[in-house]
Structure 1
Amino acid sequence: MKNILITLNFSENDQRLLDQGYELAKAFKAKLWLMHIAAPNPDFVGYEVGPQYIRDSRASKLRHEHQLLQEYAAAMQIEGVEADGLLIQGATTEMILEESKKLKVDLIIAGYQEHDFIYKALMGNVSSQLIKQSKIPVLIVPLH
């Protein structure tokens, strides 16, 4: 195992995923890829971008998310694990699978948290989609 991908959503549960990835990367001397999938640009999904303050706000949020990924990666490197952060925009499951192939990932680590029916109907469940669609092994970490 040479490359491990951790999917992050910047929640309070990210540390569990990072800890799990760290342990596996350390044991296998693997590289960690820390990935966050940001929502696609509004024009990508058929809406106009809107006023400048909306674009500025979006850009600021993306810079902040990128900085967090870099901080997580730097912390892993201090602990002796090679790590890089990736901030990608697009459809979550598709982007995880696409990037996993590009990076030659051997394992995808994702979290699972139970949601109500309305959330599932509107947002779907990335963990379930990954399990169904991935040809790469997926480790699901329960997040309660």
Structure 2
Amino acid sequence: MKKILVAINIEKNADRLIAKAEEIAQAFGSKIWILHVSEPDPDDYLGLEAGPQYAQDKRVENRKKEGELVKRMAENLRQKNIEAEAVQLKGSTVKMIKKEVQNINADLLIAGHHKKNFFYDMFVGSIKQELIDDLDVPVLLVPVKHRS
């Protein structure tokens, strides 16, 4: 397990996922990639407008803050002598995670697991299930609590 990809949502328990990746990386001498997927721009979809300028500016500002935070997380790991890189992509979460797993040839994917009810998964779907079904690498789901 030399290449670990950690898929984080900036505001939701990233610290817990990073800690688990750090634990594994120390045991196996692994490198960690910290991935945050930002929401796509509306104009990335055919026929949709990007919205008013202030909304576009806010998205850009948020992405910049998220990118800086992911870079700091990677730097914190490097200060502990763990190889780490920050990756920020925009688009469909599942699609971007799959793409990055392939790009780095990951040995392990670490992601958070929020307990949802049956109806939520039935109507909204389960990103976790889609990743597990489609990837050829082990997926470690770390239980995390939902933050409002």
**Distance in 2, Cα, partners of 1:58 & 1:5:** 25
**Match in the other structure for 2:17:** 17
Name stretches of at least 5 consecutive residues in structure 2 with no aligned partner: none
Query: Number of residue pairs matched?
Result: 144
| Cα separation, 2, equivalents of 1:15 and 1:125 | 22
Give 4+ residue runs of structure 1 displaced > 3 Å after superposition: 116-123
The TM-score with structure 2 as length reference comes to 0.90
TM-score, normalization by structure 1 = 0.92
Give the CA deviation at 1:13: 1.6
Alpha carbons of structure 1 residues 118 and 44: separation in structure 2 relative to 1, 3 Å: farther
Q: Which moved more, 1:109-118 or 1:48-57?
A: 109-118
Instruction: Give the 5 Å matches for 1:86-125.
Output: 86-116=87-117, 119-120=120-121, 123-125=124-126
Q: 1:117 deviation in Å?
A: 5.3
Q: Counterparts in 2 of 1:40-79, with a 5 A limit?
A: 40-46=40-46, 47-79=48-80
What amino acid maps onto 2:14 in structure 1?
D
Cα-Cα RMSD: 1.6
Residues 39-91 of structure 1 show CA distances to partners (whole Å, capped at 9, x for unaligned) of 11111123101221111111000000000100100111111111111110111
Q: Secondary structure at the match of 1:130?
A: helix
Cα gap change, 1:123 to 1:33, in 2 (>3 Å):
farther
Q: 1:32 and 1:120, CA in 2 relative to 1: closer, same or farther beyond 3 A?
A: same
2: CA distance, partners of 1:30 / 1:123: 34
Alpha-carbon separation, structure 2, partners of 1:62 and 1:122: 29
Alpha carbons of structure 1 residues 51 and 70: separation in structure 2 relative to 1, 3 Å: same
Structure-2 separation of matches of 1:119 and 1:88: 26
Q: Which runs of 5+ in 1 are unaligned?
A: none
Compared with structure 1, are the counterparts of its residues 27 and 37 closer, same or farther at alpha carbon in structure 2 (3 Å cutoff)? same
The alpha-carbon deviation at position 120 of structure 1 amounts to: 3.4
Q: CA deviation at 1:36?
A: 0.7
Q: Distance in 1 between matches of 2:69 and 2:122?
A: 29
**Alignment correspondent of 2:128:** 127
Q: Aligned residues: percent identity?
A: 35
Q: Secondary structure at the match of 1:114?
A: coil
